[in-house]
Amino acid sequence: MNPRVAHSARRTVLAAVLVVSAAAYGGGGPPNFLLILADDLGYGDVSSYGAPDVQTPHLDRLAAEGMRFTAMRANATVCSPTRAAILTGLYADRVGVPGVIRTHPENSWGWLAPGVPTLADRLRGQGYHTAIVGKWHLGLESPNLPNERGFDLFRGFLGDMMDSYTNHLRLGINYMRHNYEEIFPRGHATEIFTDWAIEYLRGVDRAKDRPFFLYLPYTAPHFPIEPPAEWLDRVRRRAPALEPKRALNVAFVEHLDDAIGRVMAALRESGLESNTLVVVTSDNGGSIPHAQSNLPWRGGKQDHYDGGLRVPFIARWPGVTPAGSVSDYEGLTFDVAPTFLEAAGGAIPPEFDAVSLLSMLRGGPPPSGPRELYFVRREGGPRYYGKSYEAIIVDGWKLLQNDPVSPLELYNLREDPLERTNLAAARPEVVRRLAESLRRHIQRAGATPWQPPDNRSPASAR
């Protein structure tokens, strides 16, 4: 069936589902969900996480009014795998996305597995209107366009990074879309996505008789670091001694924070705030070569050290989540998926690797029981050769590589949270135990292809 026809035909079924969903809540209806995902926002680039030179009042307000998580990690140290994990509740290589999806097949390291339900699919099945505004980065052609993977609305950018925030091209190709239609918006990408999100909250392209899931993945502050001139001038006036590259990034983050503040204002003005669970996080740590900060953690984007994995994670749910609360629970960003499903009144699929945080958000205890935190990235080029490298955290121990050809490193995070002392040689029995856990994850993921069957070029979506 033509995807556009199928997309339209599903609406009839959803009307009946919504009646059942509302009845399950005694007529009150389930909460709305707003997931804001920054791109390369470092742990040390948010003032409520200790950044000394960045001012993020809107993120800080969300933290003050909700729960700030201090030990959450992204599912991967780069973009596409984290996004795939968040939208499926499964480890990224289990859904075919161990690495970054790119335009050219010889440099693309993932293919989102067709048939795996996304969070949008599952919430839509519970009567939600689903929308993505911003960066997709999980496929450039059918069957992996956003409208084919559970979203009623897509307004945004199909690709990975932009050549410029003002021309919105990637490798000279326009990947901006409104659903399936190529569009040519004008302005700074952060402001465009913000305007579109505000329009959605105000009722444009949204079914007002249904709860909504709005996924707002910004491209900022991913390089190229391009804050508007007035934001950079503001930082230079405030901190004239700040190193130029750092000043650019500070301005870029503050511009993003302002955009998030505008979205939150629209949520309030639209009367939606009291029944909306908002989560803000990042897809991975900040890029050190671009003067982004992950302090106090070691390393940055592309590393399996915690600077590449620890990310800001803030949840705000008025009247439900205790204001000003702080949690040191060690989870992963894809825990959003079962949390939203459970909050919506749905069942958590037994195949999920992710864990619901709902009890904590309601002021209760964290998830109980042991947990393995697994990370993977596959990449090309002379450092990686198309191979993968992994990391795993079990019971306070972390085993990792930062490229496929380097020796394994072992850290005791409870005694050495900054990962200064490699214990691989001193504790071979721990290395063996964690390596066995890694083997099980790698073998399980091997059942899922991470390339299209005919290795066709995703650039045909042009």
Catalytic-role residue among 58, 129, 137, 188? 137
137 belongs to the catalytic site: yes
CB 36, CB 225: distance < 8 Å: no
Catalytic-role residue among 79, 168, 290, 304? 79
Burial string for 371-392 (b: 16+ CB within 10 Å, else e) reads: bebbbbbbbbeeebeeebbbbb
222 belongs to the catalytic site: no
Active site residues: 79, 137
